[in-house]
Amino acid sequence: MTTRFGIGRSGKTRAATLPLYQASVARAREAHWYEAGAVPDTVDGRFDMVAGILTFVLLRLETAPEGPEPSARLTERFVDDMDGQLREIGIGDIIVGKHIGRMMSMLGGRLGAYRAGLAPGGDLEGALIRNVYRGEAPSPAALAHVASRLRPFHAALAATPVAAILAGMLP
């Protein structure tokens, strides 16, 4: 059993994901996404960027034999953070579970969309319009900015050892 604070049977491995989660959130909060990339600097826009960066990290972890457990712990950490964020903005206990379920569905959808978008012949820009911009295309320059940052991020993650990623050393 694991509690919100990572105490319990898997507490050690869950605690090990803290540097990676913090690095992912810091990457998602970089100003260029919101300025040059025109991602809305709103609760939804910040969620979309955190979920996007986290998705790229999860896609990398799924390619590694040692990836499933850290992926699960990283996802649990995301859920805990989102739970806390929802409560902080005043959403009550009865509704939090529904919001978390919807967020997990959105994260799962992004995994599929970005996996397909990054595949040869894939449409990453289309996936970004649907998931980061919620269906409303930004200017071509803004979209190009986000895509031109995420493609090399994906390639650099693939070349980075999982141990370094888990330590929060994102490329």
Between 3 and 82, residue with greater pLDDT: 82
- Which tens digit of pLDDT belongs to each residue from 11-53? 555 677 899 999 999 999 999 999 999 999 988 898 899 999 9
- Which tens digit of pLDDT belongs to each residue from 131-147? 999 999 999 999 999 99
Amino acid residing at 24: S
State in Å, rounded, how far the first CA of the chain is from the last one.
Answer: 33
pTM: 0.84
Nearest residue to 132 (alpha-carbon basis) of 144, 120, 158: 144
CA-derived radius of gyration, the chain? 16
When pLDDT is cut at 50, 70 and 90, the band that residue 97 belongs to is low
Does residue 122 carry a pLDDT above 70? yes
**C-alpha span between 66 and 64 (Å, rounded):** 5
Mean pLDDT along residues 141-166: 97
The answer to whether 138 and 38 have CB atoms below 8 angstroms apart is yes
DSSP string across 106-145: HHHHHHHHHHHHHSTT--HHHHHHHHTSTT----HHHHHH
Q: In this predicted structure, what is the pLDDT of residue 11?
A: 54
- Which tens digit of pLDDT belongs to each residue from 46-86? 889 999 999 999 999 999 999 999 988 998 887 777 665 65
Residue length, the chain?
A: 171
Q: In this predicted structure, what is the pLDDT of residue 7?
A: 37
